[in-house]
Amino acid sequence: MDSVAKAYATQLANIEKKTGLSLEQLTNKVKTSGLTKHGEIREMLMKEFGLGHGDANSLVHHALQTSSYGATIDKSSEGDAVLDDIYTGAKAGLRPIHEGLMQVINELGEFEIAPKKGYVSLRRKKQFAMIGPGTKNRLELGLNMKGVAGTERLLEQPPGGMCQYKVFLTSAEEVNAEVVGWLTEAFQSAG
């Protein structure tokens, strides 16, 4: 199981703990609610069980078995397939950096993973990070946080972009205490 799959499995296990119900019971609750729209179901789960946006969203995908990454990750090797698609060919050497970052992020707490074409988006109440190849030799870590001064390594981005900062990584060894600090700040800022 890759780090993305582990994070999703952890998220679902934490949802079970929070609600005191099994995934089967929660799925039944969704299917018998009479609601059909994703957003309505998500809101119902947030209100009824006190779940955050990301947890409720993942639970809806799980219950409805929609085409979301999370909906099928526990039933196939799709998690590996997503990363295989992102880190293919000349970019394959960047995958260990991605996995190193995910190890750190998994220790921070609950979050949602939303794979996109070419990168993964990480969310709590809002997106806190993006991880993906910037070039064939460099991984891009996009971070969203406020009140942090940019540095030579933590590059401030123009307003209006997907992330407020970027960090470029060329090896897993560059995932050091400084990067962990920024990830922690971004994670906490997202809710």
Residue bearing tokens 């709590």: 124
The pLDDT of residue 98 is 92
The pLDDT of residue 106 is 84
Question: Would you call 47 exposed, middle or buried from its count of C-beta atoms within 10 A (0-12, 13-18, 19+)?
Answer: exposed
CA atoms within 13 A on the CB side of 72: 13
Question: What's the gap between Cα 3 and its chain centre?
Answer: 11
- On whether the CB atoms of residues 72 and 78 are closer than 8 A, the answer is yes
Q: How distant, in Å, are the alpha carbons of 17, 32, 104, 147, 173 from that of 179?
A: 30, 45, 10, 16, 11
Question: What's the gap between Cα 102 and its chain centre?
Answer: 9
- The phi and psi torsions of 114 (rounded to 5 degrees) equal -125, 95
Q: Average the pLDDT over each of 64-78, 89-103, 120-134, 160-174 and give the range with the smallest value.
A: 64-78
Q: Which CATH number fits domain 89-189: 2.30.30, 1.10.10, 3.30.1460, 1.10.287?
A: 3.30.1460
What are the pLDDT digits (tens) for 32-88? 999 888 788 888 998 999 988 778 877 887 887 763 344 333 323 345 667 888 888
User: Given a cut of 90, is residue 5 above it in pLDDT?
Assistant: no
The pLDDT of residue 77 is 36
The domain locations on the chain are 3-72, 89-189
The pLDDT of residue 56 is 83
What are the pLDDT digits (tens) for 109-156? 888 888 888 888 898 889 999 999 999 999 999 999 988 999 999 999
138, β-bridge pairs: 135
Q: Is the pTM of this model over 0.85?
A: no
The pLDDT of residue 91 is 92
Mean pLDDT over 97-103 rounds to 90
